[in-house]
């Protein structure tokens, strides 16, 4: 089992459509992470492109492929290190455009996941992915990947937990919404419940800045396998980094008492039965 892992969510503020400038933001974030000995760096959803596109054509103009120089720039920076970078990008696939996430280390692109659950106007801009989310084996444990709204569907993180994920990295763009001042935003509460229900660590990287009048929760968070917040962005902090030292492989112990286990206590055959209505 690996030892302590330094996880960082870097809450960047990408500019809509500025692929070159946003790529420089991503590279600078990687450089800071390496200087701070970060092991797993998570960046926002669509970090290279921005988010609030008017239509598919505008998104396609800001979309890239994994042959873009950004990926080789990151790989060169990571050469000789064990650091893993997870970041969102608008991905061009011929005339399709995906809301995608790449997992990159010193060996190159380890995995690309294409968001399968599109939120609100994303359905007018992006093509939903059809493949299951990946789990990537690293020296820092097994890293699963989701994107933002994907996490709201319990089946998605459960798939990753069953596949052996220790840490789920979730690039996000959480739009501001009303919530009671006494509570964290609902998305963070959902991350806590997801972590607890699956016995996994979760790192959600939100974004900062304003796009076409849209603001964001700026609520990046790292949650442990019991559902407790171990690091979070201060409310209204803008562009900031959230860093936590954790032991992701502790997630492999799913016991919750001497007689219980988060995954071992499941009864899948029961869940497939028809629910009686009295």
Active centre residues (catalytic): 45, 115, 148
Let me know how long the chain is: 278
Q: What's the burial of 190, exposed, middle or buried (CB within 10 Å: 0-12/13-18/19+)?
A: middle
CB atoms within 10 A of CB 249: 18
235, 202 Cβ separation under 8 angstroms: no
Structure tokens at 160: 């990753």
Rounded CA separation 91/65 (Å) = 5
């Amino acid at each position: 089992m690996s030892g302590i892992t330094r996880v960082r969510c870097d809450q960047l503020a990408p500019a809509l459509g500025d692929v070159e400038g946003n790529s420089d933001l991503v590279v600078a974030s990687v450089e800071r992470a390496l200087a701070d000995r970060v092991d797993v760096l998570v960046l926002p959803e669509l970090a290279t492109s921005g988010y609030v596109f008017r239509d598919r054509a505008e998104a396609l103009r800001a979309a890239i492929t994994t042959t873009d120089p950004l990926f080789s720039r990151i790989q060169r920076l990571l050469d000789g290190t064990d650091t893993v970078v997870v970041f969102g990008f608008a991905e061009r696939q011929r005339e399709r455009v995906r809301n995608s996430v790449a997992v990159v280390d010193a060996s190159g692109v380890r995995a690309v996941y294409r968001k399968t659950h599109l939120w609100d106007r994303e359905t007018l801009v992006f093509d939903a992915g059809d493949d299951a989310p990946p789990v990537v084996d690293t020296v820092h444990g097994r890293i699963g990947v989701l994107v933002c709204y994907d996490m709201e569907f319990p089946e998605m993180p459960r798939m990753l937990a069953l596949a052996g994920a220790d840490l789920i990295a979730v690039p996000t763009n959480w739009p501001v919404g009303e919530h009671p001042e006494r509570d964290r935003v609902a998305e963070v509460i959902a991350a806590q419940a997801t972590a607890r229900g699956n016995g996994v660590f979760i790192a959600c990287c939100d974004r900062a800045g304003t796009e076409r009048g849209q603001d964001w929760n700026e609520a990046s968070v790292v949650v442990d396998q019991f559902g407790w917040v171990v690091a979070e962005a201060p409310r209204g902090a803008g562009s900031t980094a959230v860093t936590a030292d954790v032991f992701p492989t502790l997630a492999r112990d799913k016991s919750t008492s001497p007689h219980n286990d988060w995954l071992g206590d499941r009864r899948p055959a029961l869940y497939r039965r028809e629910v009686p209505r009295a």
